[in-house]
Structures are given as C-alpha cells and as structure tokens.
Structure 1
C-alpha cells in the first residue's frame, strides 16, 4: 500500500447515549485525493465493548443518500467484515480500495449488534454530519437512500468515526490543528466554520502536489493541562486534556509533519473558578500553562514534529444579554493571559515559531486602540469565540510557508478592519497579518459592499518603499551617466575643432571679411553668461 497520511479527524470527547441493533451513517469531507482509505473508529467513552456487524463506505449524494453503486465494504483484521472495539479503545480498518477525489464527501455506515454506547465528537451546530436509524432497525449499511433513517436523531455530532487516512495522495503531509472550541468551530454564527476550514481553502489554491492537509483536532471546552475531577468540562464535553490526548489525536497519526497549538484559555477560566466559583490554584496559573506547553513541545520534538504556538486570543466578560451563560473575565485572569502570551513571545519560548493572533484579534482597528479587548466584528456575541470573519482572518495571518509549502493566497476578509494610526498595537497586528500574504501581493485596501481587505499602513510597507527608492535611484544614475557622456562628447568635439584650426596650412589664409566694429563698453559688473 502507498504511503498513508491523515486527511480528516474528529476526536471523540463524550458518551453520547446508547443504541441497539441500529445503523449510523457519518459524513466526512476529505480535502485531498487518494487511491485508498483506512478508517479509525473510537469507543473511547464507553465502558462496554461495541460490535459492528458491517461497515461500508460510499460517495455521498446528499444528506444520508449515497450514490448507488459506490458502496465498498470495510474489513478489519485482514478481511473480517465484523469487529468488536474494546471498552475505551479504538480500531483501525484494513486498507479500503475506495478512491476519493479532493473535496469529496464520503458516507461511512456502521451497523451495531446488540447494545452499544456511542462515543461522539460533540461540536458544533451547523450542517448535519451523522444520521442514524431507530433501535432495532438493523443493518442498512448498503441502503443508498434515507429510508429507514430517523430524521429526529440526525445530529451535527460525529459518532464513532474519528480518523480517515488516505494512500496515494499527492499532498505533502498533514498539519494538526490542536486546540479547543476556537479551533473546533464553536459559535452561534459559525455553523461549525473554523480557521481550519479557511486555511484549507487557502491551500486548495496551490497545485495538489504542493499542498498539505490541515486536520481539525479541536475539542470544545478542552484544557491544555490536567484538572481535578469536576473542575473543568471534562466530564460534560471537554474531552481529555491536551497533554493527555496529544499522542492519540496528533503524534500517532500517519503523515503528521507539524502541529499548530491553540490551548490554554480554558485553563485560565477554570483555574479562576469558572465552574466551581472558587479559584483552584495552582491550576490555571501562568506557570502551570507554560509547563503544559513545554511538555507538549518536548513530546512533539521527540517525534521530530514541528510545533507552532498561537498566542491566547483576547476575551472579555459575557452575560445572559450576550446570548450566553454569564462568564466573568476578571483583571486577574487577563493578567494571567498576558503573562502566558508574553512568555510565548519571549526568547525563552520552546516553540518552533509563535503566531501572535492575539494582536490580530484585538480591538485596534477603525480608530480604536484597546489591545486587551476583542475586536467585536471578529467575535460572536460572547466576546470569546471568533465568528466566521474572525476565523477567516486568523487563517490569513498564518503563513503557509511554516508548513514547508508555498505561500497560499489569503481568503478575502469579511469585515472592514483598518489598523488605527498612531496605535503601536495596530501596527503589530498589521505586521502579523502581513506574514500570511503572498510575497508578490502588494498590501492594498479593497472595499466592496461585502468584503474589505485589511489595510496595512504605509509606514509598515518597508519592502515596497525600498524597492521604489532603489528604482528611482537607478533612474537618476542612468540620467546622470547619459548627461556626463554627452558633456564629454561635446568637450571632445570642441578640442578636435580647435586642433584643426591650429593645424590649418598658411597657404590657405582666411578670406578677408568686413571690418569688425569694436565691442560696446561694459556698463557694470552684470551677470556673465556661461
């Protein structure tokens, strides 16, 4: 089998109820082409075994419908059509001879035998990702229509399916986006859209052989570090903490070449008493978060995987009026966030590169200069989760050259955001955003009724200015050289004429002319002509 690389992920984070003798059909979109597949199924949140009597893969038509004739059976353990997944375990299929096209959505159908507890990825609101039958309906893994599937239990939560690997892809490896709800795409207005979607859209403009796959390993409510029981969302949706699940959800995946880490803001909130109402130091402090980051970086480097850190985004208090549960953000929590970001950006950082998205997402545009406050047009009403415009600008600020590929074109921004003049934080935001631009694209402002590109102030456009100055200087030098050559030519002609006059033979005297009149007397020291 050709070299495998990971093309899609959906890490499970919660027990999502029980089922019995039913069929589940998960829909996943694979961003790159491949000649065959391998599928991973997770039983991580079940204390009992789960048995699939049959699994198939086919090309999605729409909803739960599958294009007739595209079903291919999935086998396990060298040819078995059925498989039992151990409690808290996972299973990987045999290679599946199913060719997938770039951007194609596939339908993976699983028929359970007996009782089963569902392990699911519980984010986010948006398109339906998973369809299921009622209990007792049985095996519909080869049914191409929606008949038999219960629309009342369709879900945006992916069930059991957690990893898709492809073989024979022209892409150059996999980048894992490792984070929390900000990476996962949580938000009232997002419909599951994340900066990962925007980044993959950028990369899709490159030739297939120059692309990488960016897979989403975000879990809403996730923390970086380990918290005591019942002090975080771990029991309710947050999944395993980053330091615990790093190997399973990133380092063990085939083809991974780098990781982008955006975790830590939940640690601050939980540590300050976000769940209990009482601070629980040392959890959620700057030293504990920094120690967690070092642990993750060391593990990545031990696997020869590069890891890029993203500074924690600005946030502020949300209330019931903001369409969310009240979530207070105190000056002490802000001080912790600032301390973590300062350490990340310092020479002591362990990361291969730090991407300062905090600067890009701060309120430093359109006349404002408040670097600790979220820029409202980039965020959902909760002042915490970026909206589609915010997720898009985050992807635009990450240079794809970090992943060993060419600089991909930026996605058109969705809101007007002009860095505020005389605001140092705005200048920093513009510089960070410029890192994601194509080298040949000049930083200009384009405004329409829908989108406006973020303007980089002229004072920061040093490379363009230097190029223009050099061009002018070269032009001046050329003009001076031409003038110098012309003057030298004139002097040479004058000297040649003088020599000819002095060397004229005496036998040819100048013919006499009319008598010359004496010159008029000078009247003063007026200016002389050259």
Structure 2
C-alpha cells in the first residue's frame, strides 16, 4: 500500500487560507502626514538703488501680498549707507493712507527698531497676523538714513510724512508716495506650495511709463490667476552681468522658493557675441539649479536698438530665442510667440506695447496668460482664493 505524505510548503512560506468566497476588506488608507507651515514670500522686490532720508520720516506703503497664512515676517534693506529703523507696524490697508485694522508692532530681536550698515538685509521676528491671498497690507515704518529703493514707481497708494507716525490708525497725511523703499520682502507662514520668483529687467519689474503699478506686471497677474506667489526680482536696466553679480543678495536669500522664471537678455543684445550671451544665460541657470526649477522666457519683439545697429539687434535676438528653445525644453515660456505681430517676428501685436520695447498693461496681460498656460500644463492648478477659482482664500 502506498503511503500518502502531505506536501509541506517551502520553508518560510505559509499556506494560503481557504477562500470563504468573500474578499477581505482592505485596510483603510493611511492619512497623509500633516503639512507643517513654512515661510514663503508673498511679496518681494530687488531694491538695487538708494534713497536718502536725513531726518526721521514715516513711510506707509500699500503692499499686495500673493500668499495666505497666519504669521508674517518683514525684510528690510538699507541702501548705500547706514539705516536706522525706529518703529515698524503692520495693518490691513484702508483708503487714502488709512488703516483698516489696528496697527500691530513689528519687532527685531525683541526691540521695536534696528540699525544696520550699508547694503544689509534685516528680517523681523514673526508677527501673528492672519492674511488671505490677495490682501493689501499697510506697512508703516519710521526711518532715517539710506533705504534701498526701486528706480520706478510701483506701489501707488502709499504716503510719506516727516516725523514719527507709524502707529497712526487714521490717514497718514503728508505726500503721496509710490516708489518702493526699504521694504524688500513680505514672507507669509502657511501651507507649503509652489512659490516662484521672476528674474529680469524693466519688462519684468514693470516699467511702462515710470508711474506704474506692480499689480499690472505679468508676474503678479499670473500669480493671481494661479493662486501661487510669483514674486518680482526684476531690475530696470539689468543685464546678465548685474544679475550674476547680485544674485546672492537679491534672489538666493529668499526662503521657500521652488521655481524661477528668467526673462533676461534684451539689454545685452549686440553687447557681446551671441555665443557669450548664451553662455551667460547658461551660467545663470546653472547657478539657480540647486535653488529652484528654472523656466526661461523667450525675448519679446524689439522695434528699436538702444545700442548697436537695429539689424544686428534683430539677428542677435533671434539667435538667443533659437538657443533658448533648443536648450531649455521643456521649461520654456514662449513670450515671443504670443507677442509678435502676425506679419513680423520683430514687431509687437498692435496695442500690446508702450514704446517698441516695453509691453503696456494689455501686453502684460497676454504675457501672464502664457505663463498661466505653461504652468498649468506643468500641473499648477488654480488654488483656493485665486482669480477665477470661485472660492475664498484661507
């Protein structure tokens, strides 16, 4: 008689249980880990110039902020000499230089003010100040000395008055003031998100006629549509040399940036061989690589030459754009494609430029739409509180 010996499973394996005809309930999914709030910029300007104040003066700047959260930090920059910040307050902006909320004091290492040497950036302690994406802040500060400044007006709705008035809740009085001075960055602590900085020249900074508005720039408009911060590090007149030389102090010190958009080179056309300009763009993007994912914009049409012959400018611009499209795929934002006239790649579409070099407000809207198209294709959806999302901010 043959003896039957049961077959054992290989060592280390268990026999499968007999099926009862019903699949077991899968375990519930693990909840995602909570997102710790982080500071990321909701406003930034690369203040490269200098404005002197010989006696204590109060500035009240009306500042749009492209990020929501619960706490705020302010960064100030001195200009070409020492700066004394005597007192700083933060509030929601009202009309005509007034405040829509009680002013909240801002401190620096426990003190209401701070003194710094030339070309120094100083960051305040965090202030508990709930803010929604798109809120307008009134940042008031009493100062004396040299403040870092923009060369153009970008913040209409501000005021300047001699004396100490930072805690005044009513209209500040004094003179209307629209030139950004002193205040370089507003950082907001909230859920982490994509956060962009735009690097460029006057086209990015927002020059149209000199009396301008940061809210009209392509960067601000695109960020508002997407519901993510796209803060501004454009500087009028900038080329590759200055951008590379001052990158550390104007861009790389920002916290929480995930992406950079570079629109640079139009001021450099014909100043050096095309191969050298392309090498400088490559050097800039290489330096940005550890800091952010880098997008590069094609250069806009240019209808005149500031230096060299116009024929040489046209040839150089086309060479730079061809290089960008070849070497930067897929991270190209093709501004030229949406801004040039149907019959000429060198001219703007009628109604989109101010002077043959700078886009007007309508041109900035077209540029913003192209940024939104490119970034949405990359997976940046409309966020809560963004224009067109239909939902309030946090």
Q: TM-score scaled to structure 1, two decimals?
A: 0.61
Are 1:199 and 2:172 an aligned pair?
no
Kindly indicate whether the alpha-carbon contact (under 8 Å) linking 1:171 and 1:213 is maintained by their aligned counterparts in 2. no
SS at the partner of 2:46?
coil
1:242 offset after TM fit, Å? 1.2
Counterpart in 2 of 1:36? 71
Kindly indicate whether the alpha-carbon contact (under 8 Å) linking 1:317 and 1:328 is maintained by their aligned counterparts in 2. no
Are 1:317 and 2:349 an aligned pair?
no
Counterpart in 2 of 1:150? 174
1:403 offset after TM fit, Å? 5.8
Within a 5 Å distance, the mapping from 1:223-234 to structure 2 comes to 223-225=239-241
Kindly indicate whether the alpha-carbon contact (under 8 Å) linking 2:86 and 2:114 is maintained by their aligned counterparts in 1. yes
Flag the 1:41–1:200 CA change in 2: closer, same or farther, 3 A: same
Flag the 1:95–1:338 CA change in 2: closer, same or farther, 3 A: same
- In structure 1, distance between residues paired with 2:319 and 2:150: 32
Flag the 1:11–1:130 CA change in 2: closer, same or farther, 3 A: farther
Counterpart in 2 of 1:488? none
Flag the 1:371–1:196 CA change in 2: closer, same or farther, 3 A: same
Counterpart in 2 of 1:454? none
Aligned residues: CA RMSD: 2.5
Counterpart in 2 of 1:371? 345
1:37 offset after TM fit, Å? 0.5
Structure with greater strand share of residues: 2
1:386 offset after TM fit, Å? 0.7
Counterpart in 1 of 2:335? 357
Larger radius of gyration: 1
Q: Which of 354, 375, 390 is the matching residue for 1:400?
A: 375
1:146 offset after TM fit, Å? 2.4
Counterpart in 2 of 1:230? none
Within a 5 Å distance, the mapping from 1:129-148 to structure 2 comes to 129-134=157-162, 137=163, 139-147=164-172
Flag the 1:33–1:162 CA change in 2: closer, same or farther, 3 A: same
Question: Using CA pairs below 8 Å that are at least 6 residues apart, which structure has the higher relative contact order?
Answer: 2
Counterpart in 2 of 1:215? 231
- In structure 2, distance between residues paired with 1:5 and 1:296: 22
Counterpart in 2 of 1:255? 256
Counterpart in 2 of 1:344? 324
Aligned length: 347
1:182 offset after TM fit, Å? 1.0
Kindly indicate whether the alpha-carbon contact (under 8 Å) linking 2:226 and 2:387 is maintained by their aligned counterparts in 1. no
Note the residue ranges of structure 1 that are not aligned, 5 or more in a row: 205-211, 226-240, 273-282, 319-325, 413-530
Flag the 1:201–1:53 CA change in 2: closer, same or farther, 3 A: closer
SS at the partner of 2:93?
strand
Counterpart in 2 of 1:477? none
Kindly indicate whether the alpha-carbon contact (under 8 Å) linking 1:184 and 1:216 is maintained by their aligned counterparts in 2. yes
Cα offsets for 1:185-224 (capped at 9, x unmatched): 21139832111132123214xxxxxxx2111221121112
- In structure 2, distance between residues paired with 1:172 and 1:96: 21
Cα offsets for 1:399-419 (capped at 9, x unmatched): 2236642278x999xxxxxxx
Structure with greater helix share of residues: 1
Q: Which of 288, 294, 308 is the matching residue for 1:307?
A: 294
- In structure 1, distance between residues paired with 2:226 and 2:273: 36
- In structure 2, distance between residues paired with 1:389 and 1:363: 14
Bigger drift between 244-253 and 85-94 goes to: 244-253
Counterpart in 2 of 1:50? 83
Counterpart in 2 of 1:447? none
Counterpart in 2 of 1:188? 209
Counterpart in 1 of 2:276? 288
Flag the 1:83–1:199 CA change in 2: closer, same or farther, 3 A: same
- In structure 1, distance between residues paired with 2:90 and 2:332: 39
